[in-house]
Amino acid sequence: TGYFTYDPGFTSTASCDSAITYIDGEKGILTHRGYKIEDLAEKCDFLEVAYLLLHKELPTQKQFADYHHEISMHTLLHEQLINFYKGFRRDAHPMAVMVGVVGALSAFYHDSLDLHDPDQRELASTRLIAKMPSMAAMAYKYSVGQPFVYPQNNLKYAENFLHMMFAVPSYDYQVNPVLAKAMNLIFILHADHEQNASTSTVRLASSSSANPFACIAAGIASLWGPAHGGANEAVLNMLTQIADKSRIPEFIKRAKDKNDPFRLMGFGHRVYKNYDPRAQILRASCHEVIEELSVKNEHLLEIALELEKIALNDAYFVEKKLFPNVDFYSGIILKAMGIPTTMFTVLFALARTAGWVAQWREMIEDPIQKIGRPRQRYIGPVQRKFIALEQR
Ligand code: CMC
């Protein structure tokens, strides 16, 4: 009963008013609070962008220094939380570990949970943004059996993450500035992207005033899928599987075959019907990182570029407006940086936490918002005569 607008996949339904991120998918434009992603990506530190998403304005130098200091006060994890890692199998997927440990933060912080108090919302936001790099790096360290590395708070956000990932005791690890720059760039490009599946998940989960740490864990779960954040890992697996440029046509053919579930990973987007501007930026960065590192997996970039060329000239991809998206290039850079494939989506989650938290706060501060409660079209049987078990 009841007639509701039917919109599977929410292709034409706005769920909220938002002043955080603007996308013009036809023109390939992305802005955060009115600033072009190209400007932010070229000139900002990730924490400036996080501050912008959360506080509506870019920080002054003093505000930035204060914010960096505030974040650095919260980068440590409770030692008891560290025990959670040890309960996982060493070969557990780091995204599975992240869903668990980020959700577990909800058991540790009972003093930042009054959602009506802006100071407590700020504290929960700071904790999440500050702890994500530590938590992500620990997921990696645990998987390779190395001791956890504690944060070094004089470092910038992206640098500190690389330090926690790659430093080992009794070895003087210095973060390569080219890698730190690339990491910072990747974090900025993943910081927010309006009402995608994981952000909508965070909003819907928290629309019941649920625990913010648990709601971010719900966002991580949604992001994991290969149609969303999991695509960066899937792209690398696909390029490795293609293995040689000569095999590209075979994979293009499969992607076009409606009877084959295979899709070109890193291609297509619900909103962009043009080049994803984030992919454009990363495409340029790819070459810089690979040149700096003179890495061995250069042939994967060659396969990627050839694949891109062929797909962009293929009638199927042209007609359906399927362009490379952000995940197409990020994986190649991350791989070149020595980040293992299974960590790719974890890095996406780390960066997107800034956006999730900003969207969560915007929702709570919006007097129009109420608990999310979609309706349905019931298509099951109407009333049936019940027959007791002994007669069935
Ligand atoms: N390869 C081959 N065909 C494709 C692809 C692709 N990557 N993407 C879409 N199509 C086809 C699809 O089969 C459909 O054809 P038809 O109209 O004949 O049925 C048409 O294009 C429209 O696709 P859709 O699935 O209806 O579009 P959507 O908006 O629901 O899905 C998408 C968007 C991103 C999930 C999809 O393009 C896809 O699966 N891409 C590959 C995975 C990927 O790269 N995901 C990352 C997205 S961007 C960053 C992020 O969100 O994390």
d(CA 256, CA 250): 10
pLDDT class for 8, splitting at 50, 70, 90?
A: very high
CA 169 to chain centre: 30
Radius of gyration of the chain (CA): 22
Q: Is 344 exposed, middle or buried (0-12, 13-18, 19+ CB in 10 A)?
A: buried
Does residue 391 form part of some domain? Answer: no
Tell whether the model's pLDDT for residue 158 goes beyond 90.
yes
- The CATH number of residue 102's host domain is 1.10.580.10
Q: Considering the chain, what is the average pLDDT of its residues?
A: 94
Q: What is the mean pLDDT of residues 104-130?
A: 92
Do residue 93 and residue 201 come from a single domain? yes
d(CA 157, CA 100): 23
Do residue 57 and residue 188 come from a single domain? yes
Tell whether the model's pLDDT for residue 335 goes beyond 60.
yes
Reported as a single tens digit per residue, the pLDDT across 188-197 is 999 999 999 9
Hey, how many other C-beta atoms are within 10 angstroms of the C-beta on 108?
Answer: 14
Do residue 315 and residue 361 come from a single domain? no
Do residue 254 and residue 190 come from a single domain? no
How high is the pLDDT of residue 218?
98
Tell whether the model's pLDDT for residue 1 goes beyond 60.
no
Instruction: Identify which of 34, 16, 359, 50 has the alpha carbon closest to the alpha carbon of residue 219.
Output: 359
Smallest CA separation from ligand 1 atom 14, residue: 320
How high is the pLDDT of residue 284?
85
Question: From the candidates 45, 190, 269, 276, which is the catalytic residue?
Answer: 269
Ligand 1 contacts (CB < 6 A) are 9, 196, 227-229, 231, 255, 263-270, 320, 322, 325-327
Does residue 387 form part of some domain? Answer: no
pLDDT class for 332, splitting at 50, 70, 90?
A: confident
Tell whether the model's pLDDT for residue 344 goes beyond 70.
yes
Q: Of 14-23, 200-209, 225-234, which range is least confident?
A: 225-234
How high is the pLDDT of residue 2?
65
Token representation of residue 309: 């060329």
- The CATH number of residue 262's host domain is 1.10.230.10
Active site residue 117: no
How high is the pLDDT of residue 93?
96
d(CA 334, CA 347): 9
Question: From the candidates 192, 276, 314, 327, which is the catalytic residue?
Answer: 327
Active site residue 244: no
**Model-wide pTM > 0.90:** yes
How high is the pLDDT of residue 295?
62
Task: Report the atom number in ligand 1 closest to the C-alpha of 196.
Answer: 51
Among 192, 260, 269, say which to mutate for ligand 1: greatest number of ligand atoms within 8 Å of CB: 269
Give 267 Cα–ligand 1 centroid separation in angstroms. 7
How high is the pLDDT of residue 170?
77
How high is the pLDDT of residue 296?
54
Q: Is 295 exposed, middle or buried (0-12, 13-18, 19+ CB in 10 A)?
A: middle
Do residue 289 and residue 243 come from a single domain? yes
Do residue 101 and residue 214 come from a single domain? yes
Does residue 20 form part of some domain? Answer: no
Which structural domain, as residue segments, surrounds residue 267? 231-336
How high is the pLDDT of residue 36?
98
Reported as a single tens digit per residue, the pLDDT across 285-304 is 887 887 777 665 578 888 98
Give 346 Cα–ligand 1 centroid separation in angstroms. 22
Q: Of 122-131, 208-217, 295-304, 309-318, which range is least confident?
A: 295-304
Q: What is the mean pLDDT of residues 270-298?
A: 83
Q: What is the mean pLDDT of residues 96-104?
A: 97
Do residue 63 and residue 211 come from a single domain? yes
Does residue 385 form part of some domain? Answer: no
Tell whether the model's pLDDT for residue 43 goes beyond 60.
yes
